[in-house]
């Protein structure tokens, strides 16, 4: 079986590739000749994931899945949420995003947050969604060199290190994307 993972984010592809069974061949957008930016114009994480998967199926004809992830911070009423990638502007710079978030949380005692990933699978003319959540808190400073996005300032519940300090196997086992991908794989194997 082959499926397109509708992303240009090489970090996401690397993470997900380690989770997918060998009988499922993952194709990237580059592999199918898709070089345009796929629209993400919905106002929810779920909506963006569905929109991206439908775009690939409609324009390229492949069964595919797409994900969208947001960081939801309690003290900010769920922000940055669906705007996580462009929280500090359209340049989508991770350091700028983290700095803006750390500034917004300065002097706030409640630093609880969660990562939420929704995967939309467009498969055999049906659409399915799978959600993964990782609860934790926002640290006061960046720590760690692994991972990407907000990983250096997110410490999962029950752990003393940020996602950016964790081994990829641990991160995939406890993380939002890993949980959503596990549900996707269970579905494909059923």
151 is catalytic: no
Report which of 110, 102, 189 is spatially closest to residue 141, judged by C-alpha positions: 102
Instruction: Collect all residues with Cβ–Cβ distance below 8 Å to 14 and sequence separation of at least 6.
Output: none
**Annotated catalytic residue: which of 68, 74, 96, 151?**
68
Residues 150-168, buried b or exposed e (16+ Cβ, 10 A)?
Answer: bbbbbbbeeeeebbbbbee
Cα–Cα distances in angstroms (integers) from residue 35 to residues 25, 51, 120, 174, in the given order: 20, 17, 20, 32
Residues marked active site are found at: 68
């Amino acid at each position: 079986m082959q499926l397109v993972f509708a992303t240009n984010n090489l970090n996401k592809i690397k993470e997900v590739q380690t989770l997918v069974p060998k009988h499922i061949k993952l194709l990237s957008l580059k592999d199918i000749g898709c070089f345009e930016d796929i629209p993400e114009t919905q106002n929810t994480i779920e909506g963006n994931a569905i929109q991206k998967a439908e775009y690939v199926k409609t324009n390229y004809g492949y069964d595919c899945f797409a994900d969208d992830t947001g960081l939801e911070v309690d003290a900010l009423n769920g922000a940055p949420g669906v705007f996580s990638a462009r929280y500090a502007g359209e340049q989508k710079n991770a350091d700028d995003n983290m700095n803006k978030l750390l500034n917004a949380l300065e002097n706030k005692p409640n630093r609880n947050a969660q990562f939420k990933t929704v995967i939309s699978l467009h498969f055999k003319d049906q659409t399915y969604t799978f959600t993964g959540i990782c609860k934790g808190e926002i640290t006061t400073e960046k720590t760690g060199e692994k991972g990407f996005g907000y990983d250096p300032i997110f410490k999962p519940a029950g752990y003393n290190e940020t996602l950016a300090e964790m081994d990829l196997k641990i991160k995939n086992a406890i993380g939002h994307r890993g949980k959503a991908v596990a549900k996707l794989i269970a579905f494909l194997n059923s």
